[in-house]
Amino acid sequence: MRLLIWVPLYLLFFNNLIFSQDISTRQKGLEKKSLKLRKEIKQINNLLFLNKKIKKSTLTEAEDVEIKISIRRELIKVNNEQVNSLDKLININLRDISENRSEIKSLKNDYSQMVKNAYKSKSMQNRLMFIFSSEDLLQAYKRLNYLKQYTAFRKKQVEKIKEKTLILQDLNQDLIKQKQKRKLLVEDNIRENEKLIEEQNQQNKILKELRKKSTYFTKQIQVKQSQAESIDKEIQKLIREAIVFSNKKEKNKLSKFFKLTPEAKVLADNFIANKGKLPWPVLKGVIIQKYGTQTHPVVKTTKIKSTGITIASIDNAEVRSVFEGQVMSILSFKNSNPTVLIKHGNYITAYKNLSKVFVKKGQRLDSKETIGEAFTNSETGRTVLQFSIFNAMKPENPSLWLFNE
């Protein structure tokens, strides 16, 4: 019967332990994410809001504030998730504390009863009488063994009580820490919400101005989008021509991929092996426009499409190659800044919006080697680099390739 009761209790404890470990792992992940978001907000303040002397256009100012608002919203959300996880851990701890207290109480009651029984027969004479009154030698041996086992069991009960008491102390300490952490998170979220309200009020004032010239700003966005698409078409055309050239001696001249030498194949394989580990193309930066099709952060009626990511950085930031490779081309377009393409086997990285270029076509580069400087717009105060990765002609999300803390 005892075994039948013990098995469900053991399973309950085991399930609680696994559940608690899962929540703790999730909690650590959320803490890491929270630190990353705080770092991003700090970078945005340094990169987009530090130079207050520059009068930004209404659209640029609205975009910058919206970037900060979206990250702060995410931080508040992560903080709330941490509070919810802590609530679950606290509840598990409270349940474990209650179970341990009950178990300690039961162990102490059992031990108390054993002490009373031992007291009644504590004299050596009683013990000897118990052994010598045996009917034969075998029974005497069994009784002697029983006394030894009884003594050992008493010692074991004392050890169990000590062990459970230490576990209870640890659980109580964990509970204190968890409650304190929860309190700090709630307080932090109150402050973050206050900042969010302040930023939203600021944004509402800017949007009020923006609505007066909504047609003008929509056209501005569309012109920028059209320029970006033209550059991407030229890049893809150049890549397509290079692929055709590399396959000119092959039967399959319609291949969508480069004909690679054994050396280039190794380079491509190494590039793939470093997915998620590539260094950023600038030393300090924060993503202000993501990859893919998305609604414009301010003019919600307009869609924007990006084959890469846009990174804000420090003034005249040095731009570096994210991996070893060879300069495939240096492109210049009307009304836009130079673009450098670097080939890594079948993969190409594109570095757009450069003010200076320090490399030449055909030049071999090492990882992190400087290729130029990002352009700083004197009107907006922004220094941005547009960075793309192509698998042959197909664009891929650079965020999945770059190292993410």
Please report the sign of the dihedral spanned by the C-alpha atoms of residue 78, residue 80, residue 86, residue 91.
negative
* Domain assignment of residue 194, yes or no: yes
Residue 59, pLDDT > 80, answer yes
* Domain assignment of residue 217, yes or no: no
Residues 204 and 236 in one domain: no
Residue 127, pLDDT > 80, answer no
Residues 253 and 198 in one domain: no
148-177 mean pLDDT: 74
Q: What is the pLDDT of residues 88-100, one digit of tens each?
A: 888 888 887 777 7
Query: Dmax of the chain from CA atoms?
Result: 114
Give whichever of 273-282, 290-299, 378-387 has the largest mean pLDDT.
Answer: 273-282
- Top pLDDT among 349 and 117 is at 349
CATH code assigned at 282: 2.70.70.10
Residue 378, pLDDT > 90, answer no
Tell me the percentage of the chain whose pLDDT exceeds 90. Answer: 48
Residue 120, pLDDT > 80, answer no
Average pLDDT, the chain: 84
Residues 167 and 249 in one domain: no
* Domain assignment of residue 220, yes or no: no
Q: Which residue range forms the structural domain that includes residue 322?
A: 231-400
Q: What is the pLDDT of residue 81?
A: 94
Q: What is the pLDDT of residue 151?
A: 63
Q: What is the pLDDT of residues 282-308, one digit of tens each?
A: 999 999 999 999 998 888 888 999 999
* Domain assignment of residue 179, yes or no: yes
* Domain assignment of residue 353, yes or no: yes
Q: What is the pLDDT of residue 199?
A: 94
Residues 244 and 391 in one domain: yes
Q: What is the pTM of this model?
A: 0.75
Residues 260 and 339 in one domain: yes
99-128 mean pLDDT: 63
Q: What is the pLDDT of residue 5?
A: 44
Q: What is the pLDDT of residue 2?
A: 43
Q: What is the pLDDT of residue 184?
A: 94
- Top pLDDT among 166 and 117 is at 166
Residues 50 and 184 in one domain: yes
233-261 mean pLDDT: 84
Q: What is the pLDDT of residue 384?
A: 95
Residues 14 and 142 in one domain: yes
- Top pLDDT among 136 and 29 is at 29
Instruction: Please state the domain count of the chain.
Output: 2
Q: What is the pLDDT of residue 105?
A: 77
Q: What is the pLDDT of residues 60-84, one digit of tens each?
A: 889 999 999 999 999 999 999 999 9
Q: What is the pLDDT of residues 201-227, one digit of tens each?
A: 999 999 888 888 888 888 888 988 999
Residues 289 and 395 in one domain: yes
* Domain assignment of residue 219, yes or no: no
Q: What is the pLDDT of residue 112?
A: 64
Q: What is the pLDDT of residue 175?
A: 85
Q: What is the pLDDT of residue 123?
A: 46
Residue 129, pLDDT > 60, answer no
